[in-house]
Amino acid sequence: MKNISIVVSGLLGTLCLANQGCAVQTPSWVPLRASLSAKVDATLVWVGRGECERLENGTWVRRPEFDYEFSVEQRRSGKHWESVKSMRRRHPGYDGSAGGRLQTLYFQLDFDASVNVPGVDASIKSSLGVGRGVTDREFRKATLEIKADVSRFAPFDRYRITQSYDYEAGQLVEDVELNDGGKPWVRNHEVATLFAANKFQQPPTSLQ
């Protein structure tokens, strides 16, 4: 794999909770198919880090115990995308209220360019819930909203995700808000580096 270097300042994510009574369990939805993999036009792999903040008394407060490392495998086939996201929370202060330290999430997006010219509409099905979104025709800027599949007692009911793909720089920047209606509660900031297939003429690492 070839690492296209970027400066990572910390921006996307999901499920940054701070209340043990509102813990979210990842639903069991997985996009099913009989074969191991479907034919795709492009497979992109993103690796990065997410940083969490919570709105407290009108001020965004850092919650580093909910930060995480993540990787996303994104399979694009025409107007159909599938993404698998793996998250690892390694901070020793993490209390488990957002679920296990290791989580896997699935996302399926189907785009319709005829609905919102010049933009592109998207229908979303995911482990977090269902929703809709809109992006441009080059898939550089997107806004997604997912109705959260959580208990009615949870302090949020939707995810609002803004994405910025800088393909030339090999960078993906996302903001994910956990909102109660239009009111934000938690937000995650993520920056990810794009990895691309590469052949090595010799081992990339060795012991001398």
CATH of the domain at 178: 2.40.128
Looking at residue 27, what is its pLDDT? 53
Query: Which structure tokens are listed for 137?
Result: 């025709």
Q: What is the pLDDT of residues 20-71, one digit of tens each?
A: 334 444 456 888 888 876 678 999 999 999 999 999 999 999 999 999 999 9
Cβ-in-10-Å burial (0-12, 13-18, 19+) of 23 comes to middle
Q: Does 57 fall in a domain?
A: yes
Dihedral angle over CA of 127, 133, 137, 141, nearest 10: -90
Structural domain contains residue 93: yes
Q: 203 phi and psi, to 5 degrees? A: -55, 135
Q: Distance between alpha carbon 123 and the CA centroid of its chain, in Å?
A: 16
Residue 128's pLDDT is 94
pLDDT of residue 47: 98
Residue 149 within a domain: yes
Which pLDDT score, from 0 to 100, does residue 198 have? Answer: 83
Note whether residue 205 is domain-resident. Answer: no
Total count of domains within the chain: 1
End-to-end CA distance of the chain: 22
Domain for residue 32, yes or no?
A: no
The pLDDT, as a whole number, for residue 156 is 94
**Is the pTM for the entire model greater than 0.75?**
yes
Residue 196 contacts residue 4 (beta carbons within 8 Å): yes
User: Is 186 domain-assigned?
Assistant: yes
Contact between residue 180 and residue 147 where contact means Cβ atoms under 8 Å apart:
no
Full domain range(s) for residue 113 = 2-19+40-196
| CA neighbor of 169 nearest in space, from 6, 42, 12, 45 | 6
Which residue, 124, 162, 118, is CA-closest to 143? Answer: 162
pLDDT score for 28: 64
* Residue 143 covered by a domain: yes
Q: Is residue 201 one of the residues assigned to a domain?
A: no
Q: So what's the pLDDT on residue 31?
A: 84
Structure-token pair, residue 6: 């970027």
Residues of the chain with pLDDT under 50: 1-26
